[in-house]
Amino acid sequence: MSKQEVIISENPETSLTKAIQQIHFDKLFILTDENTYRFCLPLVQGVESLKGVEPILVGAGDTHKTLETLASVWKALGDRGASRHSLLINLGGGMVTDLGGFAASTFKRGIPYINIPTTLLAMVDASVGGKTGINFNGLKNEVGVFAPAQSVIIDTEFLKSLDKENLCSGYAEMLKHGLISTEKHWAELLDFDFNRPDYTMLQTLVAQSVQIKENIVEQDPFEKGIRKALNLGHTVGHAFESLALEQKRPRLHGYAVAWGLVCELYFSCIKTNFPKNKLRQTIQFIKDNYGVFIFDCKQYERLYEFMTHDKKNEAGIINFTLLGGIGDIRINQSATKEEIFEMLDFYRESMGC
Protein backbone atom coordinates (compact mmCIF):
# COMPACT_ATOMS: atom_id res chain seq x y z
CA MET A 1 0.00 0.00 0.00
CA SER A 2 1.42 3.37 -0.97
CA LYS A 3 2.15 5.90 1.77
CA GLN A 4 -0.11 8.92 1.89
CA GLU A 5 1.17 12.44 2.45
CA VAL A 6 -0.01 13.92 5.75
CA ILE A 7 0.14 17.71 5.85
CA ILE A 8 -0.08 19.53 9.19
CA SER A 9 -1.46 22.78 7.83
CA GLU A 10 -1.67 26.36 9.04
CA ASN A 11 -3.68 27.51 6.02
CA PRO A 12 -6.14 25.01 4.49
CA GLU A 13 -6.52 26.90 1.20
CA THR A 14 -2.76 27.04 0.58
CA SER A 15 -2.26 23.40 1.57
CA LEU A 16 -5.15 22.18 -0.58
CA THR A 17 -3.94 24.17 -3.59
CA LYS A 18 -0.50 22.52 -3.34
CA ALA A 19 -2.01 19.04 -2.87
CA ILE A 20 -4.26 19.45 -5.92
CA GLN A 21 -1.36 20.66 -8.06
CA GLN A 22 0.46 17.36 -7.44
CA ILE A 23 -2.31 15.33 -9.08
CA HIS A 24 -3.19 15.10 -12.78
CA PHE A 25 -6.98 14.91 -13.16
CA ASP A 26 -9.68 15.74 -15.67
CA LYS A 27 -12.53 16.73 -13.31
CA LEU A 28 -12.67 17.58 -9.62
CA PHE A 29 -15.43 16.73 -7.14
CA ILE A 30 -15.89 17.55 -3.46
CA LEU A 31 -17.91 15.51 -0.96
CA THR A 32 -19.36 17.17 2.14
CA ASP A 33 -22.07 16.41 4.66
CA GLU A 34 -24.77 18.88 5.64
CA ASN A 35 -22.69 20.30 8.50
CA THR A 36 -19.34 20.63 6.73
CA TYR A 37 -21.06 22.21 3.72
CA ARG A 38 -22.18 25.00 6.02
CA PHE A 39 -19.28 25.42 8.45
CA CYS A 40 -16.14 24.11 6.72
CA LEU A 41 -16.51 24.54 2.96
CA PRO A 42 -16.16 28.36 3.27
CA LEU A 43 -12.62 27.85 4.64
CA VAL A 44 -11.43 26.33 1.34
CA GLN A 45 -13.73 27.97 -1.23
CA GLY A 46 -11.00 30.40 -2.23
CA VAL A 47 -9.09 27.55 -3.90
CA GLU A 48 -9.12 28.23 -7.65
CA SER A 49 -9.80 24.58 -8.62
CA LEU A 50 -12.98 24.51 -6.52
CA LYS A 51 -14.62 27.46 -8.23
CA GLY A 52 -17.81 26.35 -9.94
CA VAL A 53 -17.68 22.86 -8.37
CA GLU A 54 -21.04 21.79 -6.98
CA PRO A 55 -20.50 19.69 -3.83
CA ILE A 56 -21.85 16.17 -3.54
CA LEU A 57 -23.91 16.44 -0.36
CA VAL A 58 -24.73 13.60 2.07
CA GLY A 59 -26.45 13.51 5.44
CA ALA A 60 -24.40 14.13 8.58
CA GLY A 61 -23.67 11.44 11.16
CA ASP A 62 -22.67 7.79 11.28
CA THR A 63 -26.22 6.63 10.53
CA HIS A 64 -25.56 7.79 6.95
CA LYS A 65 -22.44 5.63 6.49
CA THR A 66 -24.49 3.09 4.56
CA LEU A 67 -24.64 1.25 1.27
CA GLU A 68 -27.48 3.55 0.17
CA THR A 69 -25.40 6.69 0.76
CA LEU A 70 -22.40 5.10 -0.93
CA ALA A 71 -24.55 4.31 -3.98
CA SER A 72 -25.76 7.93 -4.07
CA VAL A 73 -22.13 9.14 -4.22
CA TRP A 74 -21.30 6.68 -7.02
CA LYS A 75 -24.40 7.88 -8.88
CA ALA A 76 -23.50 11.56 -8.43
CA LEU A 77 -19.99 10.91 -9.76
CA GLY A 78 -21.36 9.04 -12.76
CA ASP A 79 -24.12 11.54 -13.52
CA ARG A 80 -21.65 14.44 -13.40
CA GLY A 81 -19.22 12.85 -15.81
CA ALA A 82 -16.47 11.54 -13.54
CA SER A 83 -13.89 9.30 -15.19
CA ARG A 84 -11.18 7.08 -13.74
CA HIS A 85 -8.90 10.12 -14.00
CA SER A 86 -11.08 12.36 -11.82
CA LEU A 87 -10.26 13.56 -8.29
CA LEU A 88 -12.50 13.46 -5.21
CA ILE A 89 -11.94 15.68 -2.16
CA ASN A 90 -13.56 14.48 1.06
CA LEU A 91 -14.27 17.40 3.41
CA GLY A 92 -15.72 16.19 6.67
CA GLY A 93 -15.48 13.97 9.70
CA GLY A 94 -14.79 10.25 9.86
CA MET A 95 -18.07 9.32 8.22
CA VAL A 96 -17.25 11.46 5.16
CA THR A 97 -13.61 10.33 4.88
CA ASP A 98 -14.52 6.64 5.36
CA LEU A 99 -17.43 6.76 2.92
CA GLY A 100 -15.74 9.06 0.42
CA GLY A 101 -12.54 7.06 0.48
CA PHE A 102 -14.51 3.88 -0.21
CA ALA A 103 -16.49 5.57 -3.00
CA ALA A 104 -13.28 6.85 -4.63
CA SER A 105 -11.41 3.56 -4.29
CA THR A 106 -14.22 1.58 -5.97
CA PHE A 107 -15.63 3.99 -8.58
CA LYS A 108 -14.32 2.83 -11.98
CA ARG A 109 -11.91 0.59 -9.99
CA GLY A 110 -10.42 3.54 -8.18
CA ILE A 111 -9.87 7.27 -8.55
CA PRO A 112 -7.48 9.43 -6.48
CA TYR A 113 -8.81 11.29 -3.47
CA ILE A 114 -7.75 13.84 -0.87
CA ASN A 115 -9.00 13.87 2.72
CA ILE A 116 -9.57 17.10 4.62
CA PRO A 117 -10.72 15.91 8.05
CA THR A 118 -12.79 18.47 9.92
CA THR A 119 -13.28 16.67 13.24
CA LEU A 120 -10.66 15.63 15.76
CA LEU A 121 -11.66 11.99 15.36
CA ALA A 122 -11.12 12.13 11.62
CA MET A 123 -7.79 13.95 11.99
CA VAL A 124 -6.17 11.41 14.29
CA ASP A 125 -7.94 8.24 13.17
CA ALA A 126 -10.38 7.88 10.29
CA SER A 127 -8.63 9.94 7.60
CA VAL A 128 -5.11 8.57 8.23
CA GLY A 129 -3.96 5.03 7.50
CA GLY A 130 -5.85 4.09 4.36
CA LYS A 131 -8.89 2.35 5.86
CA THR A 132 -12.16 3.08 4.09
CA GLY A 133 -15.60 1.58 4.49
CA ILE A 134 -19.25 1.65 5.48
CA ASN A 135 -21.41 0.13 8.17
CA PHE A 136 -23.42 -2.87 6.98
CA ASN A 137 -25.87 -5.37 8.46
CA GLY A 138 -25.84 -3.55 11.79
CA LEU A 139 -22.04 -3.80 12.15
CA LYS A 140 -19.44 -1.02 12.19
CA ASN A 141 -17.16 -0.74 9.14
CA GLU A 142 -18.16 -4.21 7.99
CA VAL A 143 -17.43 -3.55 4.29
CA GLY A 144 -14.46 -1.59 2.98
CA VAL A 145 -10.97 -1.63 1.51
CA PHE A 146 -7.45 -0.42 2.29
CA ALA A 147 -6.90 2.52 -0.06
CA PRO A 148 -4.84 5.51 1.10
CA ALA A 149 -5.62 9.08 0.14
CA GLN A 150 -3.13 10.96 -2.00
CA SER A 151 -2.94 13.59 0.74
CA VAL A 152 -4.47 14.22 4.15
CA ILE A 153 -4.62 17.90 5.14
CA ILE A 154 -4.90 18.46 8.89
CA ASP A 155 -5.70 21.94 10.15
CA THR A 156 -7.01 22.49 13.69
CA GLU A 157 -8.73 25.67 12.51
CA PHE A 158 -11.66 23.40 11.63
CA LEU A 159 -11.89 22.25 15.26
CA LYS A 160 -13.06 25.66 16.45
CA SER A 161 -16.49 24.87 15.00
CA LEU A 162 -16.77 21.65 17.07
CA ASP A 163 -18.68 21.26 20.32
CA LYS A 164 -17.10 19.70 23.42
CA GLU A 165 -18.68 16.30 22.74
CA ASN A 166 -17.05 15.99 19.33
CA LEU A 167 -13.70 17.15 20.69
CA CYS A 168 -13.92 14.48 23.39
CA SER A 169 -14.81 11.85 20.80
CA GLY A 170 -11.66 12.42 18.78
CA TYR A 171 -9.55 12.78 21.88
CA ALA A 172 -10.34 9.18 22.91
CA GLU A 173 -8.32 7.96 19.94
CA MET A 174 -5.49 10.28 21.00
CA LEU A 175 -5.64 8.81 24.51
CA LYS A 176 -5.31 5.37 22.92
CA HIS A 177 -2.26 6.58 21.00
CA GLY A 178 -0.76 7.80 24.27
CA LEU A 179 -1.33 4.42 25.90
CA ILE A 180 0.46 2.58 23.10
CA SER A 181 3.38 5.03 22.94
CA THR A 182 5.08 6.62 25.98
CA GLU A 183 4.25 7.55 29.57
CA LYS A 184 5.21 11.15 28.84
CA HIS A 185 2.71 11.49 26.00
CA TRP A 186 0.00 9.65 27.98
CA ALA A 187 0.52 12.01 30.95
CA GLU A 188 0.36 15.09 28.68
CA LEU A 189 -2.96 13.89 27.30
CA LEU A 190 -4.45 13.46 30.78
CA ASP A 191 -3.70 17.14 31.51
CA PHE A 192 -5.81 18.58 28.68
CA ASP A 193 -8.76 20.74 29.77
CA PHE A 194 -11.82 20.37 27.50
CA ASN A 195 -13.59 23.26 29.21
CA ARG A 196 -10.82 25.68 28.16
CA PRO A 197 -9.27 24.07 25.08
CA ASP A 198 -5.83 25.35 24.10
CA TYR A 199 -5.90 24.94 20.29
CA THR A 200 -2.17 25.62 19.95
CA MET A 201 -1.41 22.79 22.36
CA LEU A 202 -4.02 20.65 20.61
CA GLN A 203 -2.28 21.14 17.25
CA THR A 204 0.94 19.80 18.80
CA LEU A 205 -0.85 16.83 20.39
CA VAL A 206 -2.65 16.06 17.12
CA ALA A 207 0.65 16.07 15.20
CA GLN A 208 2.13 13.64 17.76
CA SER A 209 -0.93 11.39 17.51
CA VAL A 210 -0.82 11.30 13.73
CA GLN A 211 2.90 10.45 13.84
CA ILE A 212 2.26 7.55 16.22
CA LYS A 213 -0.41 6.14 13.92
CA GLU A 214 1.65 6.70 10.77
CA ASN A 215 4.66 4.88 12.25
CA ILE A 216 2.53 1.84 13.05
CA VAL A 217 0.72 1.83 9.70
CA GLU A 218 4.03 2.07 7.85
CA GLN A 219 5.25 -1.06 9.66
CA ASP A 220 2.06 -3.02 8.99
CA PRO A 221 -0.21 -1.43 6.35
CA PHE A 222 -2.67 -4.33 6.08
CA GLU A 223 -3.10 -5.11 9.80
CA LYS A 224 -1.36 -8.47 9.89
CA GLY A 225 0.54 -7.73 13.09
CA ILE A 226 1.52 -4.60 15.01
CA ARG A 227 -1.17 -2.41 13.41
CA LYS A 228 -3.58 -4.30 15.67
CA ALA A 229 -2.18 -2.05 18.43
CA LEU A 230 -4.48 0.64 17.05
CA ASN A 231 -7.45 -1.54 18.00
CA LEU A 232 -6.89 -1.06 21.73
CA GLY A 233 -10.32 -0.32 23.20
CA HIS A 234 -12.10 -1.17 19.97
CA THR A 235 -13.17 -4.81 20.40
CA VAL A 236 -15.43 -3.82 23.29
CA GLY A 237 -15.91 -0.26 22.03
CA HIS A 238 -17.40 -1.39 18.73
CA ALA A 239 -19.73 -3.73 20.65
CA PHE A 240 -20.93 -0.81 22.79
CA GLU A 241 -21.37 1.29 19.64
CA SER A 242 -23.34 -1.43 17.85
CA LEU A 243 -25.60 -2.01 20.87
CA ALA A 244 -26.25 1.73 21.14
CA LEU A 245 -27.19 1.90 17.45
CA GLU A 246 -29.45 -1.14 17.77
CA GLN A 247 -31.20 0.42 20.76
CA LYS A 248 -31.61 3.70 18.85
CA ARG A 249 -29.47 5.65 21.32
CA PRO A 250 -26.36 6.14 19.14
CA ARG A 251 -23.18 7.44 20.75
CA LEU A 252 -20.15 8.98 19.11
CA HIS A 253 -17.41 6.53 18.16
CA GLY A 254 -14.79 8.04 20.47
CA TYR A 255 -17.05 7.70 23.50
CA ALA A 256 -17.50 4.00 22.77
CA VAL A 257 -13.71 3.64 22.41
CA ALA A 258 -13.15 5.41 25.74
CA TRP A 259 -15.55 3.02 27.47
CA GLY A 260 -13.89 0.13 25.63
CA LEU A 261 -10.52 1.26 27.02
CA VAL A 262 -11.89 0.84 30.55
CA CYS A 263 -12.69 -2.79 29.77
CA GLU A 264 -9.55 -3.66 27.85
CA LEU A 265 -7.22 -1.98 30.34
CA TYR A 266 -8.93 -4.08 33.03
CA PHE A 267 -8.10 -7.18 30.96
CA SER A 268 -4.57 -5.80 30.61
CA CYS A 269 -4.29 -5.67 34.41
CA ILE A 270 -5.42 -9.22 35.03
CA LYS A 271 -3.83 -10.84 31.96
CA THR A 272 -0.64 -8.89 31.14
CA ASN A 273 0.14 -7.01 34.40
CA PHE A 274 -0.75 -3.48 33.31
CA PRO A 275 -0.13 -1.20 36.36
CA LYS A 276 -3.24 -0.72 38.48
CA ASN A 277 -2.41 2.92 39.23
CA LYS A 278 -2.32 3.70 35.49
CA LEU A 279 -5.65 1.91 35.11
CA ARG A 280 -7.19 4.02 37.90
CA GLN A 281 -5.84 7.30 36.46
CA THR A 282 -7.12 6.50 32.97
CA ILE A 283 -10.55 5.41 34.23
CA GLN A 284 -10.89 8.60 36.26
CA PHE A 285 -10.11 10.73 33.19
CA ILE A 286 -12.71 8.81 31.20
CA LYS A 287 -15.35 9.08 33.93
CA ASP A 288 -14.74 12.82 34.25
CA ASN A 289 -14.97 13.55 30.51
CA TYR A 290 -17.07 10.81 28.90
CA GLY A 291 -19.67 9.84 31.46
CA VAL A 292 -20.92 6.28 31.30
CA PHE A 293 -22.64 3.94 28.85
CA ILE A 294 -25.43 2.30 30.83
CA PHE A 295 -26.44 -1.32 30.31
CA ASP A 296 -27.29 -4.28 32.54
CA CYS A 297 -26.46 -7.98 32.64
CA LYS A 298 -29.36 -8.74 30.29
CA GLN A 299 -27.30 -7.15 27.49
CA TYR A 300 -24.14 -9.23 28.12
CA GLU A 301 -25.08 -11.92 25.58
CA ARG A 302 -25.78 -9.35 22.89
CA LEU A 303 -22.51 -7.51 23.57
CA TYR A 304 -20.66 -10.82 23.39
CA GLU A 305 -22.35 -11.60 20.08
CA PHE A 306 -21.24 -8.24 18.66
CA MET A 307 -17.65 -9.01 19.76
CA THR A 308 -17.73 -12.31 17.84
CA HIS A 309 -18.04 -10.26 14.63
CA ASP A 310 -14.86 -8.24 15.28
CA LYS A 311 -12.52 -8.27 12.26
CA LYS A 312 -9.47 -9.17 14.41
CA ASN A 313 -10.97 -12.51 15.38
CA GLU A 314 -9.45 -15.74 14.10
CA ALA A 315 -11.11 -19.17 13.96
CA GLY A 316 -13.98 -17.93 16.09
CA ILE A 317 -11.71 -16.71 18.92
CA ILE A 318 -12.30 -13.14 20.11
CA ASN A 319 -8.98 -11.28 20.03
CA PHE A 320 -8.05 -8.26 22.10
CA THR A 321 -5.13 -5.85 21.99
CA LEU A 322 -3.83 -5.46 25.55
CA LEU A 323 -0.92 -3.71 27.26
CA GLY A 324 1.76 -4.94 29.66
CA GLY A 325 2.43 -1.27 30.44
CA ILE A 326 2.21 2.00 28.57
CA GLY A 327 3.84 1.33 25.21
CA ASP A 328 4.14 -2.43 25.91
CA ILE A 329 1.75 -3.78 23.27
CA ARG A 330 0.37 -7.33 23.41
CA ILE A 331 -1.69 -8.23 20.34
CA ASN A 332 -3.82 -11.35 19.79
CA GLN A 333 -4.88 -11.83 23.41
CA SER A 334 -7.95 -14.03 23.82
CA ALA A 335 -10.58 -14.31 26.54
CA THR A 336 -13.32 -16.77 27.40
CA LYS A 337 -16.98 -15.85 27.45
CA GLU A 338 -16.92 -16.06 31.26
CA GLU A 339 -13.96 -13.69 31.42
CA ILE A 340 -15.70 -11.24 29.09
CA PHE A 341 -18.78 -11.24 31.32
CA GLU A 342 -16.53 -10.59 34.36
CA MET A 343 -14.95 -7.70 32.44
CA LEU A 344 -18.41 -6.23 31.81
CA ASP A 345 -19.11 -6.60 35.54
CA PHE A 346 -15.93 -4.63 36.27
CA TYR A 347 -16.97 -1.90 33.85
CA ARG A 348 -20.37 -1.45 35.48
CA GLU A 349 -18.88 -1.44 38.99
CA SER A 350 -15.99 0.93 38.24
CA MET A 351 -18.11 3.33 36.18
CA GLY A 352 -21.03 3.30 38.62
CA CYS A 353 -23.79 2.08 36.34
Q: What residues are annotated to the active site? A: 109, 131, 173, 213, 223, 227, 231, 234, 238, 253
Strand 134-136 to 113-117 pairing: unpaired
- CA 207 – CA 184 distance, rounded (Å): 15
Three-class SS state of 92: strand
Q: In a 10 Å sphere around its CB, with 0-12 CB exposed, 13-18 middle and 19+ buried, how is residue 138 labelled? A: exposed
- CA 265 – CA 323 distance, rounded (Å): 7
- φ/ψ of 9, rounded to 5, equals -105, 150
Longest dimension (CA), the chain: 59
Task: Calculate Rg over the CA atoms of the chain.
Answer: 20
* Count of beta carbons in the 10 Å neighbourhood of residue 150: 18
Which residues have C-beta within 8 Å of that of residue 86, sequence separation ≥ 6? 25, 26, 27, 28, 29, 77, 111
- Residue from 297, 268, 299, 304 nearest 283 by CA: 268
